[in-house]
Amino acid sequence: MKLSALIRALVMATAGLLLSACASFGNGGVDNPGGGIAVDTSGLPVMQRSVTTPSNWNELIGQIRASDTQNLGIQVNRVRDGSLRVILPGGTAFRGGSARLNNKMKPVLNAVAGAFAESPYLRIKVVGHSDSQGDPVTNQTLSITRATAVVNYLIQRNVKSVLIELEGRGSIDPLMSNSTAQGRAVNRRVELYLYEIR
């Protein structure tokens, strides 16, 4: 008698836990903050958006590299998550310590902007960086204003603002040590991350 009562209590407790877990997932739990499971018109679950690698990445890399006719030191490489990273060195992308975009950089940004006409799924994240010299607040502000200058130019080239994300990271994410002039020059940059979401 006592064993069956204990088993019944365990079954009830387990069932209660399962029901509460299901309720939390179905009503805005961690795995689905919007609540419920999204389904298409046939009643099948809709897949979550995921980053994809476009088939024309190699073509785009070639276009960006070819547009760097002034040898400005543009770097283009694939990132492990499938995105494409374009690094614009601060020393050649902007005029002397300012956030004013250098005209020589515009052909590179034109190539990036042109890619948006090819894919409705393309998105871009623009991240500004600085070195660690001087005031951290000033460095943070400069990283934001330089990223903003790039974003504004892309918008002028018909890239919709809703497809662009902007971030200024100041000096918190260096590529090289800030203890040398060469390292500081490398750290002053704007990075563009291109990716598709389907």
| Phi/psi at 85 (5° precision) | -105, 130
Higher local confidence (pLDDT), 51 or 165: 165
Confidence check: pLDDT of 8 > 60:
no
Tokens 């770097």, residue? 75
Q: Identify the pLDDT of residue 24.
A: 37
Predicted confidence (pLDDT) per residue in 35-86, tens digit: 444 444 444 444 444 455 566 788 899 999 999 988 999 999 999 888 899 9
pTM: 0.72
**Under a CB-based contact definition with an 8 Å cutoff, are residues 31 and 179 in contact?**
no
- Host H or E run for residue 44: none
Average pLDDT, the chain: 80
Which structure tokens are listed for 67? 């547009």
Dist. CA 145–CA 168, nearest whole Å? 8
User: Which among 112, 92, 110, 113 has a CA at the least distance from the CA of 101?
Assistant: 92
Whether residue 175 is predicted with pLDDT greater than 70 in this model: the reply is: yes
In three-state secondary structure terms, 15 is helix
Return the pLDDT at 183: 94
Of residues 27 and 62, the one with the higher pLDDT is 62
The CA dihedral of 89, 153, 119, 34, to the nearest 10 degrees, is 90
**What's the confidence (pLDDT) of residue 81?**
85
* Per-residue model confidence (pLDDT) at position 2: 57
pLDDT band for 14, please (50, 70, 90 cuts): very low
Structure tokens, 95: 């005029």
pLDDT of amino acid 97: 73
Domains in the chain: ranges and CATH: 57-196 (3.30.1330.60)
Residue 28 has pLDDT above 90, yes or no: no
> Residue 67 belongs to what H/E stretch?
helix 57-67
At 51 the pLDDT is 52
